[in-house]
Structure 1
Amino acid sequence: MVGIRAGGSRGTTSAWVRSAPWGLMLLAVLTGAGAGLGSIVFRWCIEQFTRLFSGHEDYAADPGSAHPHLSWLGPFFVVLAPVVGGLLYGPLVQRFAKEARGHGVPEVMLAVAQRGGRISPKVAVVKTLASALTIGSGGSVGREGPIVQVGSALGATMGRLVRADEGRLRLLVACGAAGGIAATFNAPLAGVFFAMELILMTFSAEAFGAAVLSSVTASVIGRAAFGDVAFLELPAFHVDHLGQYGLFAVLGVVAGAVGVGFSRILYAIEDACDWLWRGPEWLRPAAGGLVLGLLLLALPQMYGVGYPVLENATEGEYAVGFLLLLLVGKILATSVTIGIGGSGGVFAPSLFMGAMLGAAYGAVLHQLLPNSAGAVGAYALVGMGAVFAGASRAPITAVVILFELTGEYSIILSMMLAIALATATGRLLSRDTVYTLKLRRRGIDLEGPAQGAPLGGQPVGSVMEALPEPLCASTPLTEAADVLSLSGHGALPVLDTAGRYAGVVTTRAVAEALSEQPDGAPATAGDLVHRPPVVEPDEPLATALHSLADSVGSGMPVLDPERGVPVGWLSHRSALRALHAPAAAPAPESVPA
């Protein structure tokens, strides 16, 4: 009887933690505490492995020097360090957790979007060791990807221990990511927005509250271990006159292009490594480590994360030519590190690239416009956030994390302007980010159906209904109201006087216009037209559902991609019918152009 009561008590407690609002808050706090402790262990491992492989606390602070215990090798020890490191982490990753290879964030995004938040607990251990070995032995990658994956694995493990449902499991994964960022970089706000903008890709009061609790908990633990200071110590910068905003705007556009270029080069080099290597995967990091070592010998500033070099660039200690060399070198070194199978993040490298680009840009402006360009360091700081935004298209995270990493608020307007333009440039040049491109190359669309999912993989053309009779743009509102009321749809397509598709008019819009009718009010259906997002027949249903969910009325037109004319109607009813009609139905005939 005692055992039954005990078991019943445990079951009741577990059920309360799974379902009650305060249960989620408790799990968020515990996840944040785990992420905070994990960040301490992770940074300690990086420091120890860096001392072991280079003999320095941070070799980038004293590039080109010899290893204190291998002085007879001089600076040539950097050729061997990545090889030895690869021999250690290569078999570790291949044997225990292959998902620990690479920069980590895409795997977490995939787990949240399509795998119900499930992440193996062994990822936390393997990722910590593999990433620390990669960075410590000279890998030119960052800490954010590993700590996000480590914290997320801890959150997923916490959720599975209490048998949380998929919704809460996803939230706990995001909480782990937020806590990891907060503790590692002393950036609690950035941790929250990183989780919202990149991991969950949505905002809600519940998710925000849970992420805040996790982030604050982890940040308190991180500050107790590392101190309450800005992660990067930079001098104060100021915008002296309004004309500088135009200069920062140009930098934002250029930085956005550099961010996209980095993404493309990263995966191009990874493809090259895949094509060249024919040996066992566990040996690939060691063999490729020789190439990385030669690159480090030529440019030792690329060793590890490289924050000391970044700080020197913001203080104007490098010439323009050397800054551009460091920019290109970082792109190559990071790409090679990831391509050979190394484990580490791309956030810190993007900051490094942005600092080099911004400092070079500022130095050139200072020579051309000595009285109005302003401080070189201001451009370096803005460039850091802009390149990251161009690569990741996470503008809120970019603004917040730069403010928290540096504690510099004086040029927040310039930073926001450049980051917004960098994000727009990145979106214009590429449909994918540095994170989602990795998944799309594997045939995974985060907005589409999960691989093997029974619903959502079929094309829209197989489930759409016949197109309802369109309205003419010149149709009076009273007549349009009658037609809409008899159509059975909450919206109808509208054609202009030349018979071209103009958009959609909704019952609600017509009713509101008729009820008010002030002077100058809309008089025809064409005056109330709006264009919903484009949905095409070959588009997966799961992708189109995002647009359908936001549509006003009971459906939306499906457009022919070549002619731009509506050929069918996707309604909520037809989408739900796909649940019971998995076989593709013949598409309706197209209406004349």
Structure 2
Amino acid sequence: MSGRVFYLSLQACLNALAIGVVAKGLVLLISLFTNLAFYGRFSFAENGPAGNQLGLFVIAVPVLGSLIVGVMARFGSKAIRGHGIPEAMENIILHQSRIPPIITLLKPLSAAISIGTGGPFGAEGPIIATGGAIGSFTGQVIHISAAERKVLLAAGACAGMSAIFGSPLAAILLAIELLLFEFSPRAVIPVAIACITGGGMHLLLFDNQPVFAMPDIPAVSDKALLTYVLMGAVIGVVAAGVSRSVYWVEDLFEKLPIHWMWWPAIGGLAVGGIGYFAPHTMGVGYDNIKSLLTGQVPLLLILSLCILKYLSWVISLGSGTSGGTLAPLFTIGGALGALLGAGVLHLLPGSDINIATAALIGMAAMFAGSSRALLTAIVFALETTGQTHGLLPLIGACTTAYFVSFFLMKGSIMTEKIRRRGVATPEEYTPDLLQQLSATAAMQPSLVSIQEQMTSATVSRLLEQQPCYQAYLPVTDAGGRFKGYLHRAGLAADNAPAALPLIPEKNLPYVLATDNMQTVTTILGSYPIDVLAVLDNSDHKQLLGVITAADVLAAYTRHRIKDAKYHSAFYGNIRLLRVMARGKTILARS
């Protein structure tokens, strides 16, 4: 086990080094396409579309870029559409973490074209998808298990996020909350090493300052904290609406009587039209987030980023183009938070509300409510701003946003797409129950006691007196020590020998009393036997009992019923218990 973890960690680290370079390349490509499309110059200098002088021609730029992305999706790979994380989740759940290698090329290129021509997206979604594709590809090349490939996929995806934003801890939490569906050393250690490596690549290739550096915010008072918590509840309502609207727009595009290849161009038309009146809504918009966090943004710009940025983003994303959701959600949430903060100050001039703090908790609460990645949102806001005084209001606002969104929407912006396709994602991360139960929890005494000195005739008479359905029966010596299995088919043969047709113990498996049920199920599923001998832990191999597949299911169900009773008492959901009780009644009558 430890050797495999070391091997995966080494591979994850090597992948992260490559992903860091890819992340830098993606940012440079976005800058190049932005300069070419809006300023007509070949330059990798960081620049946004807001300063363009194209006039009405600016409407055509996003349309052209979206047309190119549509063609790439049609003739390259349809998987480049969307914002990356749902697609990664679907590959983990349905396709054994296998992502086509072509995604490693097409996803960053299509995203760079989309964002560089004005698409209102962030670079994080595409690099997460690309990093995941690199992790999956290396996992396919080195021929590891699907579970280990999942770890490399998650490690690659989150290393990309860490490389872009310099937020390794938030990236680790993102993997746990949205991709891994587990918390174990086997999974977390390689992911953590990859994210740390990605963070190191950020320092090497980007900067050592927080990505969204902002002026120091004051310590929060008790009244201000309560206000921020209530603001989080409002943002949670908006977050649920934002998540629903993305898929509502997608449904509208599904009804169009034209091929989906042309949909991004329609989304690009909306981006260009809105961008003509509000240029700041186009492009990545990290500078918009930085401006909001100063607390000194004019009200008109705040309204523009809150409403027009949302419209541009939701239409473009719903059209199926390529781009990320994190930066737009942060922009929209930050603008909404600043707007709410300004409203509170207007109504209560003497309150302790700080506009910059309101913008900070707004952007994090919007992400927490939309994605249901609570811890990721809190830590990401802290890592990318370096504002420790923001911890309390962030926890309060993000938690209430998560709470409200949870009751208003079944899925999230990350899971709704695949949920509609019938793919269920885990809603809670609990330890595997089979790992918690020992073999003795399902063990029962052997129904028939067969000893190796018995003859076939004796055993046949014994089975007539004590009927049992198992095809394989454990055999012991006179002292009760396990000697092997008797296959009943050998007794029924016309030329059955007088001595027992014993299958030696060395040829078939057994389990020890201290083994867990996961070991039991693995063995039962791997060998052509319907009963498994349970031995004590000494060298004497004393037979303690047997386990069948039915015993495993019964033990599992007993413990699940205990959990169901607890959860039903807590949540008031007794439907599961009624179903189980009805099943028991039917079995009892039969």
Distance verdict in 2 for CA 1:117–1:154, change over 3 Å: same
Give yes or no for contact 1:557–1:566 (8 Å, CA) kept in 2: no
2:504 equivalent in structure 1: none
1:42 equivalent in structure 2: 26
1:455 equivalent in structure 2: none
Offset from partner CA, 1:66-118 (integer Å, 9 cap, x none): 34xxxxxx322320111111222211122121111011100101111232111
1:298 equivalent in structure 2: 277
Q: Secondary structure at the match of 2:98?
A: coil
Give yes or no for contact 2:561–2:577 (8 Å, CA) kept in 1: no
Distance verdict in 2 for CA 1:432–1:85, change over 3 Å: same
Mapped pair 1:426 → 2:426: no
Query: 1:135: Cα distance to partner?
Result: 0.5
Match of 1:137 among 87, 104, 117: 117
Query: 1:563: Cα distance to partner?
Result: 8.4
Mapped pair 1:251 → 2:231: yes
Match of 1:551 among 552, 555, 560: 560
Mapped pair 1:80 → 2:60: yes
Distance verdict in 2 for CA 1:564–1:108, change over 3 Å: closer
Letter in structure 2 aligned against 1:66: N
Mapped pair 1:286 → 2:265: yes
Give yes or no for contact 1:36–1:180 (8 Å, CA) kept in 2: yes
Mapped pair 1:219 → 2:235: no
Distance verdict in 2 for CA 1:549–1:343, change over 3 Å: farther
Mapped pair 1:311 → 2:311: no
Match of 2:580 among 555, 561, 569: 569
Letter in structure 2 aligned against 1:327: C
Mapped pair 1:183 → 2:183: no
Letter in structure 1 aligned against 2:35: R
Q: Secondary structure at the match of 1:20?
A: helix
Letter in structure 1 aligned against 2:580: W
Q: Secondary structure at the match of 1:410?
A: helix
Distance verdict in 2 for CA 1:50–1:557, change over 3 Å: same
Distance verdict in 2 for CA 1:144–1:566, change over 3 Å: same
Distance across 2 between alignment mates of 1:398 and 1:405 = 11
1:192 equivalent in structure 2: 172
Query: 1:173: Cα distance to partner?
Result: 0.5
Query: 1:189: Cα distance to partner?
Result: 0.9
Letter in structure 1 aligned against 2:171: G
Q: What TM-score, normalized by structure 2, do the two folds share?
A: 0.72
2:94 equivalent in structure 1: 114
Letter in structure 2 aligned against 1:551: R
Distance verdict in 2 for CA 1:403–1:162, change over 3 Å: same
1:533 equivalent in structure 2: none
Distance across 2 between alignment mates of 1:164 and 1:323 = 49
Mapped pair 1:442 → 2:421: yes
Match of 1:326 among 290, 305, 317: 305
Correspondence list, 1:470-489, <5 A = none
Give yes or no for contact 1:558–1:569 (8 Å, CA) kept in 2: no
Distance verdict in 2 for CA 1:434–1:163, change over 3 Å: same
Distance across 2 between alignment mates of 1:210 and 1:44 = 28
Distance across 2 between alignment mates of 1:58 and 1:419 = 32
Query: 1:566: Cα distance to partner?
Result: 4.1
2:10 equivalent in structure 1: 26
Distance verdict in 2 for CA 1:235–1:43, change over 3 Å: same
Give yes or no for contact 2:131–2:156 (8 Å, CA) kept in 1: yes
Match of 2:52 among 53, 59, 66: 66
Give yes or no for contact 1:59–1:303 (8 Å, CA) kept in 2: no
Give yes or no for contact 2:267–2:317 (8 Å, CA) kept in 1: no
Give yes or no for contact 1:237–1:410 (8 Å, CA) kept in 2: yes
Mapped pair 1:364 → 2:323: no
Give yes or no for contact 1:359–1:377 (8 Å, CA) kept in 2: yes
1:526 equivalent in structure 2: none
Distance across 2 between alignment mates of 1:41 and 1:380 = 30
2:381 equivalent in structure 1: 402
After TM superposition, the structure 1 stretch with the greater mean CA deviation from structure 2, 262-271 or 287-296, is 287-296
1:174 equivalent in structure 2: 154
Offset from partner CA, 1:442-486 (integer Å, 9 cap, x none): 2322249xxxxxxxxxxxxxxxxxxxxxxxxxxxxxxxxxxxxxx
Query: 1:393: Cα distance to partner?
Result: 0.9
Mapped pair 1:348 → 2:311: no
Query: 1:274: Cα distance to partner?
Result: 2.1
Offset from partner CA, 1:198-253 (integer Å, 9 cap, x none): 11122112211111111111221221111211111211101352111111011110
Distance across 2 between alignment mates of 1:565 and 1:218 = 45
Query: 1:337: Cα distance to partner?
Result: 1.2
Unmatched 5+ stretches in structure 1: 1-15, 68-73, 449-543, 572-585
Q: Secondary structure at the match of 1:569?
A: helix
Give yes or no for contact 2:59–2:272 (8 Å, CA) kept in 1: yes
* RMSD (Å) for aligned C-alpha atoms: 3.0
Letter in structure 2 aligned against 1:338: L
2:219 equivalent in structure 1: 239
Give yes or no for contact 2:122–2:284 (8 Å, CA) kept in 1: yes
Distance across 1 between alignment mates of 2:183 and 2:197 = 20
Give yes or no for contact 1:292–1:333 (8 Å, CA) kept in 2: yes
Query: 1:298: Cα distance to partner?
Result: 2.0
Letter in structure 1 aligned against 2:226: G
After TM superposition, the structure 1 stretch with the greater mean CA deviation from structure 2, 194-203 or 164-173, is 194-203
Query: 1:339: Cα distance to partner?
Result: 2.0
Query: 1:557: Cα distance to partner?
Result: 11
Mapped pair 1:53 → 2:33: no
After TM superposition, the structure 1 stretch with the greater mean CA deviation from structure 2, 19-28 or 168-177, is 19-28
Query: 1:329: Cα distance to partner?
Result: 1.2
Distance verdict in 2 for CA 1:222–1:312, change over 3 Å: closer
Distance verdict in 2 for CA 1:20–1:393, change over 3 Å: closer
Unmatched 5+ stretches in structure 2: 428-552
Distance across 2 between alignment mates of 1:380 and 1:554 = 41
Mapped pair 1:416 → 2:395: yes
Match of 1:393 among 372, 378, 397: 372
Q: What TM-score, normalized by structure 1, do the two folds share?
A: 0.72
1:458 equivalent in structure 2: none
Give yes or no for contact 2:253–2:263 (8 Å, CA) kept in 1: no
Distance verdict in 2 for CA 1:168–1:363, change over 3 Å: same
1:230 equivalent in structure 2: 210
Distance across 2 between alignment mates of 1:354 and 1:177 = 24
Distance verdict in 2 for CA 1:563–1:381, change over 3 Å: closer
